[in-house]
Structure 1
Amino acid sequence: MVRMSADERREGVIRAAIAEFAQGGYYGTSTEAIAKRVGVSQPYLFRLFPGKKAIFAAASLRCIDDVCRVLEEAGEGLEGEEAVHAMAQAYVRMIQEQPERLRMQMQTFIAVAAAEAEGDHEFGEAVRAGWMRLWETVHLPLGADENETTSFLAYGMLINTLAAMGFPPDHRVWQGMYPSARVSGPADGQGS
């Protein structure tokens, strides 16, 4: 049996946490379920992370980082409409192939709102900083145009909402996505 390093175990915990929190949210997910999924004891889990909140934060920020990476890679060397097409298609592919990433994003937004309502601003600040990394990731390939960046991210949030609600790919709510960019819709699995 191959022993894993603490970094490898930590990575395993983050992946397991994304899967578990995506399903149950912060309050509906136990650290026991995460430990079981990754194959470690709860005490070991808490040697890697100081608590459930830290595990959730790591999972949330990983999802943001993953979206940034996917968009960065898709838009590399492209500008304008070419960047819009490539990044939109890459994002839709990601949420189709890894739906837990979308669910985790939605759980993150809920958790930020709950934390803020309780006066805990630290988690929200970290997520907002991640969102700004996402903003910058798409801003430059879209010509550093605030309107284009806002439009791209707004369509992304609409895609998140419709996909999270389970609208099938051929439903009429998907019609008209990115009409000016003429990107194929989720019905054909190519874009937003």
Structure 2
Amino acid sequence: MGPRMSAAERREMAVEAAVAEFARGGYDGTSTAAIAERVGVSQPYMFRLFPTKRALFLAAIDRCFVDIEDLLREAAGGHRGKAATAEMAEAYRRILKEDPHLLRFQLQIYAAAVGDEEIGRIGHARWARLWRLVADVSGAEPAEVTRFMSVGMLVNVLTAFQVPYVPGTALPESLRDWAEGLRGADPDAVDTGGDR
């Protein structure tokens, strides 16, 4: 039998489990029982760690943004300008492929924010913080930071819909070629290469 975990360690596990479970089922479709089971604790113990499901969801939102911020800061690695944004973009594309929970949970946050003022305010503040981080770390001008953030959102959509693309300066041409290749195709007949 291993050493007993502290409440702080269990909280960390609960937040990680919450990100994965909320990513799959969204706020309404996820039970605290499922999260507790994933952590290996009872549901009453889960409520000792987080008093409500909403508190756990908000903690998961915070973790999601902190993880993205940490990823971008580390990826920039002291580079400035285009070198920094290129490294951050590559790290973000890579993590979307390696950790599908990250993208799924981001999409759940956006969906929840549409009808929830508190989550909308949190998202508003965290996006501002993310924008400032990219600006501060890269030293890029506002137009470049806005382009970086915009392309990041586009990459979310491309990844979610399994659209093949070539990153970087070839992105517009890559998307044009892909879209032209599907001109007139029946959307139900398009093979995305993913599981159905």
Which bin holds the TM-score, normalised by the shorter protein?
0.7 to 0.9
CA distance in 1 between partners of 2:146 and 2:67 (Å): 20
Instruction: Quote the residue 1:24 is aligned against.
Output: 25
* 1:29-54 Cα shifts (integer Å, max 9, x gaps): 11110011111111111111121111
The structure number with the bigger radius of gyration is 2
Q: SS at the partner of 1:141?
A: helix
**Residues 28-107 of structure 1: pairs in structure 2 closer than 5 A:** 28-107=29-108
Residue 153 of structure 2 corresponds to residue 157 of structure 1: yes
2:129 maps to a residue whose letter is R
CA distance in 2 between partners of 1:41 and 1:60 (Å): 23
Alignment partner for residue 162 of structure 2, among 150, 163, 166?
Answer: 166
TM-score relative to the length of structure 1: 0.84
Structure 1: gaps spanning 5 or more residues: 116-120, 182-192
More helix by share: 2
Structure 2: gaps spanning 5 or more residues: 172-196
Instruction: Quote the residue 1:5 is aligned against.
Output: 6
Alpha-carbon distance, 1:122 to partner = 2.3
CA distance in 2 between partners of 1:51 and 1:34 (Å): 12
Instruction: Quote the residue 2:133 is aligned against.
Output: 137
Q: SS at the partner of 1:95?
A: helix
CA distance in 2 between partners of 1:111 and 1:126 (Å): 11
The list of structure 1 runs, each at least 4 consecutive aligned residues, that deviate by more than 3 angstroms after superposition, is none
Q: SS at the partner of 1:77?
A: coil
CA distance in 1 between partners of 2:19 and 2:34 (Å): 12
Instruction: Quote the residue 1:113 is aligned against.
Output: 114
CA contact (8 A) 2:14 2:36 kept: yes
Identity across matched positions, percent: 49
Q: SS at the partner of 1:157?
A: helix
Q: SS at the partner of 1:26?
A: coil
Aligned length: 173
Higher relative contact order (CA 8 A, sep 6+): 1
